[in-house]
């Protein structure tokens, strides 16, 4: 996935749990993750909001995002290649001006 297509505030699905970083404590601290589910993997059937992101400390060609579950409020760290933007819900959820009469 192209990192440039994922933005803070986007709604996303996790499409690859293997791209999660459940023990990346330094990144969680860097991003000030507030409700981190350390050691846990995100659910692929939930919708998440992107809270923040940063370049991986060791692999400069990878980007790690802090995502929050809309249903549980739990936070996870996932690489960009493990996320898919939900363009339909992102538009409905964040673009109220498009629907004004």
Question: Could you tell me the CA-to-CA distances from 13 to 60, 77, 78, 87, 99 in Å, in that order?
Answer: 23, 13, 11, 10, 24
Instruction: Report pTM.
Output: 0.83
pLDDT tens readout for residues 38-79? 999 999 999 999 999 999 999 988 999 999 999 999 999 999
Q: Domain 3-96's class?
A: mainly beta
pLDDT > 80? residue 100 = no
């Amino acid at each position: 996935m192209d990192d440039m297509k994922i933005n803070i505030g986007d709604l996303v699905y996790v499409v690859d749990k293997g791209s999660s970083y459940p023990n990346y404590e330094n990144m969680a601290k860097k991003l000030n993750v507030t409700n981190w589910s350390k050691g846990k993997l995100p659910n692929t059937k939930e919708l998440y909001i992107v809270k923040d992101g940063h370049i991986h400390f060791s692999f400069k060609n990878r980007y790690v995002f802090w995502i929050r579950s809309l249903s549980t409020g739990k936070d996870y760290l996932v690489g960009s290649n493990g996320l898919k933007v939900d363009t339909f819900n992102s538009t409905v959820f964040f673009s109220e001006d498009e629907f004004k009469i």
